[in-house]
Structure 1
Amino acid sequence: MAELSTAGDSGDTGGSGDTGDTVIATRALTKRYRGGQLAVDGLDLAVPAGSVFGFLGPNGSGKTTTIRMLMGLIEPTSGTARVLGRPMPRATRTVLPHVGALIEGPALYGFLSGRDNLLRYDSADPVADPRTRRTRVATALDRVGLTAAAGKKAKAYSLGMKQRLGLAAALLQPRKLLVLDEPTNGLDPQGMREIRSLVRELASDGTTVFLSSHLLDEIEQVCTHAAVMAQGRLITQGPVAELAAGARSRLVVTTPDPGEAARVLKEQGVSDVVVTEDRVTADPPDHDLAEVNAALVTAGVRVRGFGVERASLEDAFVALTGEGFDVAG
């Protein structure tokens, strides 16, 4: 990590420069690679302070390229990016000491143990107090569940353990912003739950978490806000609850008589009726649901389930893009 400095930051007055309400802001941020490939196209992004912000999109949608520009690892072709109130990549030396990041998997020394990898990371930080280094490392290992494997060489770690170690490196110091690129990659379901719990804990402590993922379920469970990317472009952004609310809720009838159920629903004035093997879905009716259910029963339809399902983030994505999405990863 480079030495903490304000050199080259026009108009900066020291400190992190956090504006207090938006920790990441981009304007028309664009990255075009040689050969004409447009990876990110005119991105306008706003990440509120204190949020757990999900950066959502299929693999290849431009998420990692965006993160690399935000962290000063690559230069944008055009547009601007500000992190903690400072322009990137110009303010890299000032901003990065306040940011923890795990991007495209951790870079580890395979011949060193997990503990020794973290000791090396910590010793590279010019603001880290060497007197408390081992305590910081032990705390970070404990937070990600690697205490028992701390003495094991990193080359023997599984993919999930490497992800945990990379996250531990990002947590060696208190951070104003934590940037995680696919943090649950390679983790089993229990490990995924533990990382989600840790993200919530960090957010409750005041850290803004920017979490990139292609897993809709992961974003919906842990994030307060989200942005949806597709083919390098921003489709939408905002509070997760509002994004999901933008998609239609659906009336769902579970029955072994789907054809007869569909007929009754249409007679009841219900629109957009879709029949599958043992389910019928439709737009919720304007009149009382109890009347619709009674009509189904009166017609002899064996109703095993009846109700309105709240629209999910997956529904919102499909409604916005017309495309399917890799929910399970």
Structure 2
Amino acid sequence: MTAVIETRGLTKRFRGGQLAVDRLDLTVPAGSVFGFLGPNGSGKTTTIRMLMGLIEPTAGRATVLGETMPAAARTVLPQVGALIEGPALYGFLSGRDNLLRFDAADPTADPRTRRARVADALDRVGLAPAAEKKAKAYSLGMKQRLGLAAALLRPRRLLVLDEPTNGLDPQGMREIRALVRELAADGTTVFLSSHLLDEIEQVCTHAAVMARGRLLTQGSVGELAARARGRLAVLTPDPEEAARVLKERGITEVAVDPEGGRVTGDPPGPGAELAELTAALVAAGVRVRGFGVERASLEDAFVALTGEGFDVAG
């Protein structure tokens, strides 16, 4: 697949010497839903702002839709829908009037079909019933939806979303995930920045992980999870005894959930037989209700890469 976004050596250093993005080499395949992961201060939003031509890089280059940014911003941006750091809205205008203003600011938009486009965008994000309500009275989740509607006023080759489910309730999050899948099925490449690993794993085909301004890894979501080891899991009404047996058999990082009757640990090394572990548990009188190695998650991959838990504030 061709790259919709590509950076080579992309670097941003702010005044005072703060290095926000350090020699980033990123490739976003066309047609993908690309998750951009990283804790607070990792450089995600700074990268997005450079990609959209909002700030200039200190060094390196970035291309979007095959054109160099920010030089080609006038050519590229009409083909891109974006929601970055929350929408900037006119609080005294209704949701509908906000979108009408945004659409009128696009010199390539046909004014004859403006109201139809606005109505369709409001409907797609579930805001049609609140279209006449003043934006200042919108909840945070409703404002996020309106910002997403603004990004969807025109067909886009690329959609860039920075924390699109921020402030949404679980139902709203599900609806946005479904919308992202729908857009991707229609051929739009979606670049999605989020701190919610579960969200990325559910909706994204590819992902990249940043930390402290540097790219740690990128690839398909399945490939990234496969690089992390899964977890050995035992379901039993005798969790303490099971943990003792596993430790004796060389299993490391054993954790016990006494209420759930679940014991986990790092899987055994190459050459080890899971059947032998099962036999050892049974021989010790442990009642085994479930046993196996669980598939590694994207969170497991993140912890393996960074050595730390994910900063959900990010």
Do Structure 1 and Structure 2 share a fold, with TM-score over 0.5? yes
Q: How does 1:174-189 map to 2 (within 5 A)?
A: 174-189=155-170
Establish whether residue 141 from structure 1 lines up as the match of residue 109 from structure 2. Answer: no
The Cα of 1:66 is off from its aligned counterpart by 0.4
Q: Rate the CA distance shift 1:95–1:273 in 2: closer, same or farther, 3 A.
A: closer
Count of residue pairs the alignment pairs up: 309
Q: Distance in 2 between matches of 1:190 and 1:272?
A: 39
Equivalent residue, structure 1, for 2:152: 171
- Counterpart residue type for residue 185 of structure 1: N
Equivalent residue, structure 1, for 2:82: 101
Q: Distance in 1 between matches of 2:267 and 2:211?
A: 27
Q: How does 1:264-275 map to 2 (within 5 A)?
A: 264-266=245-247, 269-272=249-252, 274-275=254-255
Establish whether residue 54 from structure 1 lines up as the match of residue 35 from structure 2. Answer: yes
TM-score (norm 1): 0.90
Equivalent residue, structure 2, for 1:299: 284
3-state SS of 2:119 partner? helix
Partner of residue 319 from structure 1, selected from 300, 304, 312 = 304
3-state SS of 1:24 partner? strand
What do the CA deviations read for 1:13-61 (whole angstroms, capped 9, x no partner)? xxxxxxx710000011111111111111110000000000000001211
- Counterpart residue type for residue 280 of structure 1: T
Equivalent residue, structure 2, for 1:222: 203
Q: How does 1:204-223 map to 2 (within 5 A)?
A: 204-223=185-204
Moved over 6 A (4+): none
3-state SS of 1:197 partner? helix
Establish whether residue 44 from structure 1 lines up as the match of residue 29 from structure 2. Answer: no
The Cα of 1:272 is off from its aligned counterpart by 2.1
3-state SS of 1:303 partner? coil
TM-score (norm 2): 0.94
Q: Distance in 1 between matches of 2:132 and 2:16?
A: 46
- Counterpart residue type for residue 221 of structure 1: Q
Establish whether residue 237 from structure 1 lines up as the match of residue 245 from structure 2. Answer: no
Identity, in percent, stands at 81
Establish whether residue 81 from structure 1 lines up as the match of residue 65 from structure 2. Answer: no
Establish whether residue 283 from structure 1 lines up as the match of residue 263 from structure 2. Answer: no
Given that residues 60 and 231 in structure 1 are in contact (C-alpha distance below 8 angstroms), is that contact kept between their aligned partners in structure 2? yes
Equivalent residue, structure 2, for 1:309: 294
Q: Distance in 2 between matches of 1:86 and 1:280?
A: 49
Establish whether residue 91 from structure 1 lines up as the match of residue 63 from structure 2. Answer: no
- Counterpart residue type for residue 74 of structure 1: I
